[in-house]
Every structure is written in C-alpha cells, then in structure tokens.
Amino acid sequence: MTLEKRPLRIGIDASLACTRRPTGVEHCARSMLAELVRLRHPRVQWFVYVSPFASPGCDFPDGVTVRTRPDFNTLLKKPWLVAQTWRDRLDVIFTFGHLLPPACRGRRVLTVYDTAFDEFPDCYPPGAAVTAHREVEQSCREAVRLVTLAEATRARLIEDYQYPADRIDVVHAASREAFVPGTNSASSPELLAVGVRAPYFLCVGRLDRRKNVERVIVAYRKLVAERGLVGQLVIAGPADSGSGGIQSRLARNAVPGEDIVLTGYVGEDTLLQLYRSATALIYPSLAEGFGLPILEALACGTPTITSTVSCMPEVAADAALLIDPTDTEAIAAAMQRVANDEVLRERLRLAGLARAAQFSWRRSAELIQGSVLLAAGQSL
C-alpha cells in the first residue's frame, strides 16, 4: 500500500509531558499534546509514547494508540523508544524535545525552544551551553522540519545554524484553561500556606540566571529603601542554576522594611492565586523560548512588566510594560508606576485579557499537525 493510500502513522514522543513537577516547557508539552490527539484527520493515525512516572495530564480518545514505557532502568528508555517506532512502522515521529535516538524510524520533526545558551552561556552550569549547542546542531542535521515557539528563536536557527527558513514552523503556546480572572483573595489558603500576603510583586519561573531575578531584588530594595514601597516581593519557582546567586543576594544588602518570599515550586492552584492577587508580574528575563508566565498573567488580568529583548515583545505586544532587563533603575521605575497608578493597572488588565485571547492551543495543535504532514510529503 502506498503512503498516499493509507493513514500516516505518526508517533509523538510525549516523555516531556510526563514529569512530576512540570514548569513552563513541560506545561506547554502537556497542553499541546492534549489538543494534538483530539484532532481528527482521515490520513493520520497517532501513536503516543509516554513514560511511567507521571500522567501527561490528558485523556486519550479512541483511535489513539498509547505505548507506556515499562518502569525499568532509564538507560533502556532509548532502545525501548527505538523498538516501538519500528513496531508501529512510523512515517513521522514528532517530539516535544530537540533530540531523538538516531535509530528511530520515521522522518523527524523536532522542537527547539530557544538558543539562549548561545547568547548567555554564563547563565548555564559549566559545559552545559556547549552541550546544548552541539545537540541543536545535531537536531538541525536530522530534522525534516523544526518547530519553535517564537519568531525570535526561528531567526536564530536560520542565522546561527543555517537551517532552511521554509522548514521551521512557529507554533505559539497559549495559557492553560484554568488561568482566567477570578476573585483576588490575598487571604486564600493557597497564599497563606506559602507565606504570601498582598500587596506584592510576583516573579515566576525556574530560578536560573536567565530569569534575571537578582536585578529584580536590587530594584525592589531600591523602592523599599528610597521610595517607601510597602509590600512583598514573591519569587515562585524551583531551584536551578541561579538559585545560589539569589540566595547570596538575599543574604547581603538587606534593607529595613523588605519582605522577600521564596515559595519554591508551587502547584497550579497556588500559582493561579498568586497571579490573581499580585500587583503585577515582573518578568525581566534575558532570553526565553516563549515566556509562558507572561501569557498566564495576561490571561488572569494581571498587569505585567517584561523585557524588550528575545521573544518577550512578541508575546506581550502592547499589553505589558517593556523594560531593558539589564537596567535596575528601569525595572524599579516600572514597578513604581504600576504600584502607584490605578488607571495604568486597569489599562494593562484589559489589554492583557485581549492579548491572551489571541493565543489558542487548538490552533497550535493544528500547526503541528500541518508540520508533520509536510514532513511526510503531504499537506492539509
């Protein structure tokens, strides 16, 4: 039977969606997967490969074949995936990551989230930036098509890796369904449990150095010491390569009246309450693949301050205050504006809701499906 006369057999490596404590990239993978397997196309048969450690967070409809990896030594996970791709006679395999075992069957559609390791290698553990660069070079050699979440990353892949522009698909993320405006309750059990009380500015994300939280701490202390700011700075996210620097910053140069809370990793319910009750999200990252917290905050109607660099303007557009992330005075000035100007906060709230409504997981899933069909030599 020819390729054109039978359903395309398309595999999805969903291991990234099966993490116990998902953060931005993993939440994107989960939401994208949930929509992708709901799509119905007469020429597509889906095969999904999941890990045994955590649920991917969605139900699989009839007609989708799910293969769950046995709970064996992780050294065997690559051979297991290779064997499944041949068992299922795949035409195309798509992964939410940027690498697949070389022996997998099927044309490859890989996801590259960012190339921040090239721009800011000092923000990564020793050797990690070099390894990441080599892995993306390998991805560019092996992939029939690449998926990325922002035009900023697409431009980098074209310029720095010479990957053909017409084989890169930009597929934006969206906010999770639960992230909508709601009652602001600074005394909610979720906030009390992590020591948070209003008013507060919120930082969200894994604590690596790209997130630029140390400069936010400097700006916050300037406002408390010099301009009488009252309220907390809440930093919500799991420890990573930047957590040591943040702890060092907190241990020195404290000012009277400051109140900085590190919540660690928080679940969806707590994160939702943190967005809804915050004075603003402050997200002056140096580089991102998409910056999902920006969109989540906008969807909750939370005023947002973010960077003028990388993909942040692409995501936020005119619905946020954009600042130079290397300028602590600019960060402080934006925080003070939002804290003092109720009219500005309302304008940002309305603009944020309108901007967030422009993003859709359904549309994103359709674009990925189109990408894998093109990889197979077909089109919608």
Q: How far apart are CA 155 and CA 125, in angstroms?
A: 25
Question: 367 and 347 in one domain?
Answer: no
**CB neighbours of 109 closer than 8 A, spacing ≥ 6?**
92, 93, 94, 95, 143, 144, 145, 146, 147, 368, 371, 372, 375
Lowest-confidence range among 81-95, 175-189, 201-215, 217-231?
A: 175-189
Question: 117 and 36 in one domain?
Answer: yes
Asked whether the predicted pLDDT for residue 73 surpasses 90, the reply is no
Residue 378 — pLDDT band, cuts 50, 70, 90? low
Question: 233 and 126 in one domain?
Answer: no
pLDDT at 208: 84
**Residue 217: inside a domain:** yes
Residue listed under structure tokens 């500015």: 201
Residue 80 — pLDDT band, cuts 50, 70, 90? very high
Asked whether the predicted pLDDT for residue 181 surpasses 70, the reply is yes
Asked whether the predicted pLDDT for residue 361 surpasses 70, the reply is yes
**Residue 181: inside a domain:** no
**Residue 182: inside a domain:** no
Q: How far apart are CA 113 and CA 189, in angstroms?
A: 35
Digit-coded pLDDT (tens) for 195-240: 999 999 999 998 888 999 999 999 999 999 999 999 999 999 988 7
Specify the CATH number for the domain of residue 195: 3.40.50.2000
Query: Do 214 and 123 meet the contact criterion of CB atoms below 8 Å apart?
Result: no
Residue 1 — pLDDT band, cuts 50, 70, 90? very low
pLDDT at 359: 97
Asked whether the predicted pLDDT for residue 288 surpasses 90, the reply is yes
Question: 230 and 154 in one domain?
Answer: no
**Crossing angle, helix 24-36 and helix 292-299, to 10 degrees?**
70
Question: 299 and 223 in one domain?
Answer: yes
Digit-coded pLDDT (tens) for 112-123: 999 999 998 988
**Residue 231: inside a domain:** yes
pLDDT at 379: 54
Question: 323 and 200 in one domain?
Answer: yes
Q: What is the mean pLDDT of residues 266-278?
A: 95
Asked whether the predicted pLDDT for residue 380 surpasses 50, the reply is no
**Residue 180: inside a domain:** no
Asked whether the predicted pLDDT for residue 64 surpasses 60, the reply is yes
Q: What is the mean pLDDT of residues 329-333?
A: 98
Q: Does residue 111 sit in helix, strand or coil?
A: strand
Question: 158 and 13 in one domain?
Answer: yes
Digit-coded pLDDT (tens) for 257-266: 999 999 999 9
Domain count, the chain: 2
Share of the chain above pLDDT 70, in %: 97
Question: 202 and 135 in one domain?
Answer: no
Question: 129 and 114 in one domain?
Answer: yes
**Residue 215: inside a domain:** yes
Higher pLDDT, 53 or 65: 65
307 strand-pairing partners: 323
**Residue 284: inside a domain:** yes
Q: What's the predicted TM-score (pTM) here?
A: 0.92
Question: 206 and 141 in one domain?
Answer: no
Q: How far apart are CA 320 and CA 333, in angstroms?
A: 14
**Residue 179: inside a domain:** no
Residue 90 — pLDDT band, cuts 50, 70, 90? very high
Asked whether the predicted pLDDT for residue 3 surpasses 60, the reply is no
- What mean pLDDT, rounded, does the chain reach? 92
Domain span at 79 = 3-174+360-375
Q: Is 272 exposed, middle or buried (0-12, 13-18, 19+ CB in 10 A)?
A: buried
Digit-coded pLDDT (tens) for 139-158: 999 999 999 999 999 999 99
261 strand-pairing partners: 234
Residue 252 — pLDDT band, cuts 50, 70, 90? confident
pLDDT at 272: 95
Q: How far apart are CA 251 and CA 265, in angstroms?
A: 21
Question: 196 and 312 in one domain?
Answer: yes
**CB neighbours of 288 closer than 8 A, spacing ≥ 6?**
114, 116, 150, 210, 310, 311, 312
